[in-house]
Structure 1
Amino acid sequence: MNGRKEIIEWLKEGCNIGKGVALYLKHGDNRRFKALLSLHRNRYKERLKLLLSRVAEVKISDYSGAGREKESDKFRKMYSFLADRDCPAELKILASDKITTYWTCVELHEKLFSCHKNEECLLVVRELVNTFIEDQTIKRELDYYKQHKGILGEHRIFERLKAIKRIRSMGVKELFKKERQLRENIWRIKAEIAKGDKPHLFSDREQRLQEKLDELAMVEKRLNE
C-alpha cells in the first residue's frame, strides 16, 4: 500500500494518534515536526491530520464521516443518561450543541493551520476560543449531572427557556410591555456592538442579541394570534 492510500485509510478509520505519528515519520518531510511529535504527540494531533492530508493531497473533511460516527458513539457511552426518560430536556439540547461545538473546534483548528494573514488568523482564533469556552461550559453541565443526577444550571440555556415559558404564560397587557422592553434591549445591544469596543465581549453580545430577537419574534407571534 502506498503512502497516499495508507493516509486515506487512516483518515477513514478515525485518525488513531499512534498510527498517524508512524505515518508521518514514514512519509512526512518536516524534521522539526517529527521531533515535536516524539515529545508531545497528543498536542499536535490536529496539525498532524492537516500535514498528512497534504501529503496525500486530500481534504480532511472528505473522510471525516467515520471519525464523527466513532466520536458520537464514544459521546453516547460517556453520557448514557441522555437516553433516560427522566433526563431533563435542557441537557438533551446541550448534548446536541456539544457535538456541534466539538466538531467546530476541530474544523477551526484545521483552518487555523492553513490561514496566512494575521487578520484571518485573529478571526479564526477568536471564534475558536469562543467555541471552546461554549464547549467546556456545556461539558460542565453534562459532567455535573452525570456525577450528581442534578442540574448545575450555569449555562444560559436555563434562563433562556425560563424566559420562553414566561412569555407563553403572559396576558396581552404583559406582552405589549414585554415587546417594548425587548425593543429597547435590542437597540442597546446593537449600539454596544456598533461601538466596536471590548472585542472580548463581542460573542456574548451577539448571543444576547439573538436571544432577544428570538423572544421578540415569539412575543409578536403571540400578539398576532
Structure 2
Amino acid sequence: MSEAGEAVPGAVASGSPAPIRVLVADDQALLRGALHLLIDAAPDLTAVGEAADGAHAVELARATRPDVVLMDIRMPGVDGLEATRRLTAAPDTCDTRVLILTTFDLDDYVYAALRAGASGFLLKETPPAELLTAIRIVAGGDALIAPSITRRLIAEFAARPEPRQRPNTGPDAGLTDREREVLTLIGRGLSNPEITEHLHVSASTVKTHVGRLLMKLAARDRAQLVIVAYETGLVGNRAG
C-alpha cells in the first residue's frame, strides 16, 4: 500500500469505528492472559497491554492511552485503588475509564473505588459476555455497577451520618428543581428508562438533564453523580 494508505496494526475495516482499547491490570498472570484473549476475540475491542501491579498499569496507560483499564483492586505495591486515583487525576490519562474487576465486593472497596474515579465495578464471577458489555458501556461514558453491589452501596450510603456538603453541589450550583429531582433518582439507583417512566417525560429529556448534571457538577460519569447525591444529602437517611 502507499505511504498514505499504510495499514495500521489493529485497525478495523474502512468506515468502521476504531476498536475500544483496553488495558488489563491484574496480578494473576493466567487471568490476565485469559482476559487479553477474551477482549481480542471481540471484533470491537482490542487489548493494548497487561500489567501485574498498579504502578505498571499507570505507566502503561500513559504510554498506550487505553479507553478502558480493567483494574484489579488487590495487587502488590500500588493497588488498584491508588492506580485509579493516579489515572483519573493526571491530565494525560484523565479521559481513560477504569472498570474495577475483583473477587472482593466489600462495601468499603466499592465506595473507595468510586471515590477514586472508577466508572464501573464488577465481580470476577461476571459472565464473559456481560464483562465485554460492561467494557463497552464504560467506554461510552456511562457507569456500571453490578446490581447486587448497587443495592448494598445504596444501603451503606443511607446509613452514613451527616452528609458532607461540597461547594460545587450546594444551592449555588445552579441546578434546577427538575435536575435535583433527576439527581436524587440517579442516587437511588434508577436507570434512564426508569427515570423516564417515573417522571413521565421523554428519554431525550432525561438524557439532557443527566448531561447538564455532569457538566454543572463536574462529574466524570453517572457513578460520581451517585456519590454527589448521597454526600449532599439529596438521598440518605429516609425510606424509599
| TM-score above 0.5, yes or no | no
Q: Which protein shows a greater Rg? A: 1
User: Which has the larger helix fraction?
Assistant: 1
User: Which has the larger strand fraction?
Assistant: 2
